[in-house]
Amino acid sequence: MNITRIGIIGFGEVGKIFGAGLAALPSVATVSTWDKKGAQGTGMVEAASARNVIWCDDAAAVYANADLIISAVTASNTTDVAQTAAAYIQPGSIFLDLNSASPGTKKACAQRIESAGAHYVEAGVMTSVPPYGIKVPMLLGGALAPELSEHLNAWGFDTAVANTTLGIASAIKMSRSVMIKGLEALVIESFATARVYGVERQMLATLKETFPGIDWEKQGAYFFTRVAQHGQRRAEEMRESANTVAEAGFEPFMTQSIADKQQWMADAAKAGVFKDIPSDAPWEVFADALISARRA
């Protein structure tokens, strides 16, 4: 497998981290990127340059000059990216889909990419990317997954093959997301409610007694911070998780509610509720902001 030119579609948090990590590899000749948010006023051109990543004016330029395309967009854009890629991707190149989407969505994307003569590999990113960089644990799926996994791991990645059948890696990822994003939503709703009634100390004490292995103060702060920053992305992911549940033949009662809660937080963030709150603030600061907004 000869991969020297990398293209990244989506230059958000994950795209920037992967771009910087890949551009630093001696065996990688070029890393190029494009994001639909564009160059004007986003700081993306400067961010790309700082990471030795080439900013392209359109997606077609990225597809035309890459052996490996990494799709790192929000869940709602997964299908659109695959559809555009099918029009421009070079035959024989590899399309690595990092996006949080249902098995059905991934299979539909694969059909588009493979009909263009390229190879589709799905990836389930199994935890938050920032602490790990390119070493974030990922499960790969698809016919070319074993070969690509070996190649990426030689570069310092941490990938494992879930299955050569498409959909398995995504099923694992999305089932996990129901739990993780659901726990985020529960913590935000529980902690903020307890704060309103002034019973957070007593409530936390009972949680610590029942689950002594969890630092609820630290975990609460992390959940509030991540959802305040990335609620929109999480809401979109949970809608795809709801699709995953529905594809399994179940009604996604809980998963849809999790999506609604994540969207509620995203809307609060857009309204400036969390403006100027530092990322290392305790959970109470975020809860108080929500309480103040409720009273406004």
Q: For 274-283, write each residue's pLDDT tens digit.
A: 999 999 999 9
| Stretch 262-271: mean pLDDT | 97
How big is the CA angle at 119 (ends 117 and 123), to the nearest 5 degrees?
Answer: 150
Block residue for tokens 């190029």: 32
DSSP state of 255: H
Block residue for tokens 């900013």: 55
Ranges 35-39, 158-162, 195-199, 232-236: which has the least confidence? 35-39
The number of C-alpha atoms within 13 Å of 169 and in the hemisphere containing its C-beta is: 30
Residue 242 and residue 261: Cα distance in Å, rounded? 13
3-state secondary structure of 70: strand
Share above pLDDT 70 across residues of the chain, in percent, rounded to a whole number = 99
Block residue for tokens 């003569």: 117
| Stretch 32-41: mean pLDDT | 86
| Stretch 158-171: mean pLDDT | 97
Residue 40 has pLDDT above 90, yes or no: no
Q: How confident is the model at residue 296 (pLDDT cuts 50, 70, 90)?
A: low
Residue 231 and residue 219: Cα distance in Å, rounded? 17
Residue 294 has pLDDT above 90, yes or no: no
pLDDT of residue 38: 81
- Residues contacting residue 231 through CB under 8 Å, at least 6 positions apart: 262, 263, 264, 265, 266, 267, 268, 269
pLDDT of residue 71: 98
pLDDT of residue 116: 97
Q: For 88-136, write each residue's pLDDT tens digit.
A: 999 999 999 999 999 999 999 999 999 999 999 999 999 999 999 999 9
- Pair of tokens at residue 136: 């974030």
Distance of CA 14 to the CA centre of its chain: 7
Question: Each residue of 257-291: b (16+ CB within 10 Å) or e?
Answer: ebbebbbbbbebbeeebbeebeeebebbebbbbbe
Residue 295 has pLDDT above 90, yes or no: no
Q: How confident is the model at residue 42 (pLDDT cuts 50, 70, 90)?
A: confident
- Residues contacting residue 84 through CB under 8 Å, at least 6 positions apart: 59
Residue 221 has pLDDT above 90, yes or no: yes
- Pair of tokens at residue 281: 């603030």
Whether pTM exceeds 0.75: yes
pLDDT of residue 41: 75
Distance of CA 106 to the CA centre of its chain: 15
Which candidate, 197, 124, 187, places its Cα nearest to that of 158?
Answer: 124
Which residue stretches of the chain are H helix?
Answer: 13-23, 44-50, 59-64, 78-88, 103-115, 145-154, 168-197, 200-210, 216-247, 253-270, 283-295
Identity (one letter) of the amino acid at 287?
A
Residue 238 has pLDDT above 70, yes or no: yes
Domains along the sequence of the chain with CATH: 5-166 (3.40.50.720), 170-295 (1.10.1040.10)
Find the Cα–Cα–Cα–Cα dihedral 126, 132, 134, 138, rounded to 10°.
Answer: -20
